[in-house]
């Protein structure tokens, strides 16, 4: 089989390494991939948003199965374009990817179908949004409707901060068309849990839970990033919470999408907050999370490609999707200055045993050496019988990576460890 994976980060590297375990796979292409992924797949210089070129490449090269991993191509209809060429795909069509592509859509969906989420108002008129903020409860959360590289969410501690966020999104167009409409929602409190799930529109199979660490600095300080590390399983996601989520959130979301004529097939990601009133949806993603995938897939004991094909063919309920009872920690090494300004092109020396359990997020290859080439650069994942051992193993490996321009958080997994005692 020839498999194609669209995307270029650590998530894609994790997907590729897992798909490689399937004996029927002869070749994997990654569009565009990166210098680290090149060790496991043939990278092809076609951008993840270049839908027409992706579809043409797949048709011309006899691709048997395609996985579209990032949000942009999914929302832009990459799966639709591949299906039009007769290529079986993993990932939702555009009409279902809207669950991530538009926060106004997803909030209205949750309201219509009674799925627990933060209370909210939507606005297309800036003056009305500013007027609403005169009396809205503070803190409050301002969200751009569309995709914004994970930066379109502002937690405002004061009324002025909230107003400034509204003006920058709606008037100054900080996120372009993504901020033409906005959501202003209730500030919720509680531990966060990420649950990725497989769904074929007929059943939902949650994967092992995980915890992201979104802020750049230790103890959740600094700016929001794409994610500085993850652990799995998430200790806050107890059996009782999982049962409630299945009943109150996962199944109702699948049914709601079906009822709207937007059947979701692929990986549906539930970003949850465990509030004192129970679990609530913070966000949906229409794809595998990054870096959640880098801890979830190493714990998957079933064959990923077979599960994905079962999703495509709507026979997921026949599959056994099994996870290890061990724990995993992914420690992200990022370029100094990330998520704002950072340099590229710094040489990395990574010992062989470290590279084996590293997912490369942003690197180029020059004369056989890996150079930094992005904000998030490496994700070092360790799997061990206990979370503490997994964390220690990732830090031990990170210390052996030689590069003068990388940093990492020192506390990945510490909150989870405290929750375990």
Residue ranges in contact with ligand AMP by CB under 6 A: 118, 141, 150, 153, 155, 185-188, 192, 214, 271, 282-283
For the bound state, the minimum distance from the C-beta of residue 120 to ligand AMP, rounded and expressed in Å, comes to 8
Interacting partner of 188 out of ligand AMP, ligand GLY, none (Cβ under 5 to 8 A depending on kind)? ligand AMP
Interacting partner of 282 out of ligand GLY, ligand AMP, none (Cβ under 5 to 8 A depending on kind)? ligand AMP
Longest dimension (CA), the chain: 61
Between CA 332 and CA 380 the distance in angstroms is 6
One character per residue 230-269, x = contact with ligand GLY (rule: CB under 6 A): ----------------------------------------
Nearer to ligand GLY, 179 or 291 (CB): 291
Question: What are 193's two structure tokens?
Answer: 């849990």
Between CA 293 and CA 228 the distance in angstroms is 13
Q: Which residue has the tokens 């100094």?
A: 336
DSSP 343-388: ----EEB--HHHHHTEEESSEEEETTEEEE-SSEEEEEEEEESSHH
CA atoms within 13 Å, Cβ hemisphere of 56: 6
Question: Is there a contact between 143 and 182 (Cβ–Cβ < 8 Å)?
Answer: yes
Is residue 285 involved in binding ligand GLY (CB under 6 A)?
yes
Between CA 31 and CA 47 the distance in angstroms is 6
For the bound state, the minimum distance from the C-beta of residue 310 to ligand AMP, rounded and expressed in Å, comes to 28
- Residue 353's φ and ψ, nearest 5 degrees, are -70, -25
Is residue 40 involved in binding ligand GLY (CB under 6 A)?
no
Nearer to ligand GLY, 210 or 309 (CB): 210
Q: Which residue has the tokens 């802020």?
A: 215
Among residues 289, 374, 375, 379, the one that binds ligand GLY under rule CB under 6 A? 289
Nearer to ligand AMP, 154 or 360 (CB): 154
Is residue 212 involved in binding ligand GLY (CB under 6 A)?
yes
For the bound state, the minimum distance from the C-beta of residue 381 to ligand GLY, rounded and expressed in Å, comes to 14
Is residue 290 involved in binding ligand GLY (CB under 6 A)?
yes
Quote the strand ranges of 218-362, DSSP E. Answer: 221-224, 229-232, 266-275, 278-285, 327-335, 347-348, 358-360
Between CA 360 and CA 9 the distance in angstroms is 7
- Residue 281's φ and ψ, nearest 5 degrees, are -85, 125
Stretch that binds ligand GLY, among 139-147, 260-268, 287-295, 405-413 (CB under 6 A): 287-295
Interacting partner of 50 out of ligand GLY, ligand AMP, none (Cβ under 5 to 8 A depending on kind)? none
Is residue 146 involved in binding ligand GLY (CB under 6 A)?
no
Nearer to ligand GLY, 63 or 227 (CB): 227
């Amino acid at each position: 089989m020839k498999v194609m994976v669209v995307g270029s980060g650590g998530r894609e590297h994790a997907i590729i390494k897992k798909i490689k375990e399937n004996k029927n796979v002869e070749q994997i292409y990654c569009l565009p991939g990166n210098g680290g992924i090149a060790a496991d797949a043939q990278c092809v210089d076609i951008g993840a948003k270049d839908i027409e070129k992706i579809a043409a490449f797949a048709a011309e090269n006899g691709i048997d199965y395609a996985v579209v991993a990032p949000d942009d191509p999914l929302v832009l209809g990459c799966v639709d374009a591949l299906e039009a060429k007769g290529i079986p795909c993993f990932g939702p069509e555009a009409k279902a990817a809207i669950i991530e592509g538009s926060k106004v859509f997803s909030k209205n969906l949750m309201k219509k179908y009674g799925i627990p989420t933060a209370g909210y108002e939507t606005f297309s008129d800036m003056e009305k949004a500013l007027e609403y903020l005169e009396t809205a409860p503070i803190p409050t959360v301002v969200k751009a409707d569309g995709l914004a590289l994970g930066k379109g969410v502002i937690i405002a501690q004061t009324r002025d901060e909230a107003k400034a966020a509204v003006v920058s999104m709606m008037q100054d167009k900080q996120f372009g068309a993504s901020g033409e409409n906005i959501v202003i929602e209730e500030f919720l409190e509680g531990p966060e849990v990420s649950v990725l799930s497989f769904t074929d529109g007929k059943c939902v199979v949650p994967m092992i839970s995980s915890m992201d660490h979104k802020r750049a600095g230790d103890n959740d300080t600094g700016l929001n990033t794409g994610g500085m590390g993850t652990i799995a399983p998430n200790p806050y996601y107890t059996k009782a919470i999982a049962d409630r989520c299945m009943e109150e959130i996962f199944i109702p979301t699948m049914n709601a999408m079906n009822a709207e004529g937007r059947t979701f097939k692929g990986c549906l990601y539930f970003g949850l907050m465990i509030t004192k009133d129970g679990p609530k949806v913070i966000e949906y993603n229409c794809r595998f999370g990054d870096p959640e995938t880098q801890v979830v897939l190493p714990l998957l004991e079933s064959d990923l490609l077979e599960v994905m094909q079962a999703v495509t063919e709507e026979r997921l309920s026949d599959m056994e999707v099994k996870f290890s009872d061990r724990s995993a920690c992914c420690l992200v090494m990022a370029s100094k200055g990330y998520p704002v300004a950072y340099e590229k092109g710094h040489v990395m020396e990574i010992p062989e045993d470290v590279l084996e359990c590293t997912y490369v997020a942003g690197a180029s290859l020059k004369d056989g050496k890996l150079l930094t080439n992005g904000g998030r650069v490496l994700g070092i994942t360790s799997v061990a019988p206990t979370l503490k051992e997994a964390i220690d193993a990732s830090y031990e490996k990170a210390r052996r990576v030689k590069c003068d321009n990388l940093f990492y958080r020192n506390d990945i997994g510490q909150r989870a460890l405290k929750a375990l005692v």
